[in-house]
A = this chain, B = another copy of it.
């Protein structure tokens, strides 16, 4: 059985690192050559073309280097139908470049509405009405509504090589109140979710030993992360919080298993928005994206080697 976990392991081995480039559309952080084009743009199609070109060129720049990208949905949903089309463009180009796509949309609902999200993000469609579908490889999922709400995603993970990342411990400071609080049983709320991830993920473990059901565990709380890692040995852990959010390469090491696998480390702004001067040239902007990606890869790979000796 091949699962999304197997595909992650294979892509990480091929690229030699577990780094993910996050694609966030911050209209105040984009370089001047893009913001100037947007200011002059008059129609929705033109807006889509300009923003899609930015992201697609980033994708082409990083595709030889990393196994996966993670587009953030919220910032593009502000742009309605154009935002949806840009997300479709991103996923199509990433797949052409043989990258895994993790749709960071943090969806969560019950029953038929949960199935609606599972279908929208993970099903492969190709009709006149919905030409690309999202057809992402994996989706971030919020399981606050209960483990039964994961069923439609699990069905897809079992029947295909698609995956999900269930939010277990997020990288923001406010997560303490809703995720670190202890239950009467003695375990934390995050540990409850880790157990759910482990249990539902057992149905989707592939040949590599990794499941299609993964978890999100922020890099900003390494002590908690270390415990959570042990509770879900078969899960791929998606780790946000490295870079701009403050976590170091050393902090993320605890999210890996002893085999050196089992985690993907994301960085968004410190790759795409750390380009120096706002009026950077187009050429130098994409060079900065490559440099920042290589710097992150070196940093993470070095930290992993140091630990494994």
Contact = CB atoms under 8 A, between A and B. Distances in A.
Interface of A: 24, 26, 41-44, 47, 72, 74-85, 88, 104, 106-114, 116-117, 119-121, 123, 125, 128-134, 142-149, 167, 170-179, 181-185, 189, 192-193, 196
Contacts of A147: 174, 177-178
A110 B148 contact: no
Contacts of A177: 146-147, 192, 196
A192 B183 contact: no
B181 A182 contact: no
B142 A144 contact: yes
A273 to B, nearest CB: 11
Given A74-B113, A85-B81, A145 B129 contact: no
Most buried by B among A76, A112, A131, A171: A112
Contacts of A128: 42-44
Contacts of A145: 106, 142, 167, 170, 172, 174-175, 178
Contacts of A108: 106, 108, 142, 144
Most buried by B among A78, A107, A183, A189: A78
B44 A129 contact: yes
Given A24-B113, A75-B116, A78-B119, A173 B192 contact: no
A120 B192 CA distance: 32
A160 B111 CA distance: 33
Most buried by B among A77, A108, A142: A77
Contacts of A112: 24, 26, 75
A181 B178 contact: no
A74 B116 contact: yes
Given A74-B113, A75-B116, A145-B167, A82 B172 contact: no
A213 to B, nearest CB: 16
Contacts of A125: 78
Contact of A77 (B120, B129, B142): B120
A120 B78 contact: yes
Q: Which are the 6 A-B pairs with shortest beta-carbon distances?
A: A146-B174, A148-B174, A74-B116, A81-B81, A144-B144, A75-B116
A132 B43 CA distance: 14
Contact of A176 (B24, B107, B142, B146): B146
Given A106-B109, A172-B111, A80 B146 contact: no
B113 A146 contact: no
Contact of A84 (B41, B74, B81, B109): B81
Contacts of A26: 112
A172 B112 CA distance: 11
